[in-house]
Amino acid sequence: KYELRAILLSASLMGIFLFAILYNVYARKIDVPTCIPYNASFQKAEIKEVDDLHYEVYIIAKMWTFDPGEIIIPPGSTVDFYLTSADVVHGFSIERKGVNLMAVPGAVNKVTVHFPDYGTYRIVCHEYCGIGHHNMMGKILVT
Ligand code: CUA
């Protein structure tokens, strides 16, 4: 019957969309931001070299800076960003990288970003956080 065909068609479309999402996540390793429970060991900002071209950067956002404010890495690096806030909710956007995270007090958000090319990438706060909001930024130097 006609209706049955319509149902089957939409069901298969749903299946295709679902497959596309899962394909993106697993096969192409697109980074899905994760929220991990607050870990007491993350009390200070730091840049850790895990091994060759793999870094962990622990970032604390606070009114109105990111700590560390400047991150220097070589091209080809993969960086795990761990992000938290010392006061209010801040945004964390890496320009030209499609990264949009929230820095939330009491929580740690993580995102992994690959930097194959030389360049400077600005980090900007995209969540209104008070009078210094528009000046709240940092940068990543791939050099
Ligand atoms: Cu921090 Cu806006």
Q: In this predicted model, what pLDDT tens digit does every residue of 13-33 receive, in sequence order?
A: 777 777 776 766 665 555 666
Mean pLDDT, rounded, of the chain:
87
C-alpha to C-alpha distance for 11 and 46, rounded to whole angstroms: 48
pLDDT for 40 equals 45
Rounded to two decimals, the ipTM of the complex is 0.98
The count of domains in the chain is: 2
pLDDT for 85 equals 94
CATH of residue 44's domain is 2.60.40.420
- My answer on whether 25 and 70 are in the same domain is no
Q: What is the pLDDT of residues 45-71, one digit of tens each?
A: 999 999 999 999 999 999 999 999 999
Q: Which atom of ligand 1 is nearest to the CA of 103?
A: 1
- My answer on whether 23 and 83 are in the same domain is no
- My answer on whether 72 and 88 are in the same domain is yes
- My answer on whether 38 and 25 are in the same domain is no
Would you call 97 exposed, middle or buried from its count of C-beta atoms within 10 A (0-12, 13-18, 19+)? Answer: middle
C-alpha to C-alpha distance for 25 and 93, rounded to whole angstroms: 20
Residue range(s) defining the domain that contains residue 81: 34-142
Q: Compute how many other C-beta atoms are within 10 angstroms of the C-beta atom of residue 79.
A: 21
Q: Helix H segments across the chain?
A: 2-26
- My answer on whether 47 and 2 are in the same domain is no
Centroid of ligand 1 to alpha carbon of 85 (angstroms): 10
Q: Does ligand 1 come within 6 angstroms of the Cβ of 128? A: yes
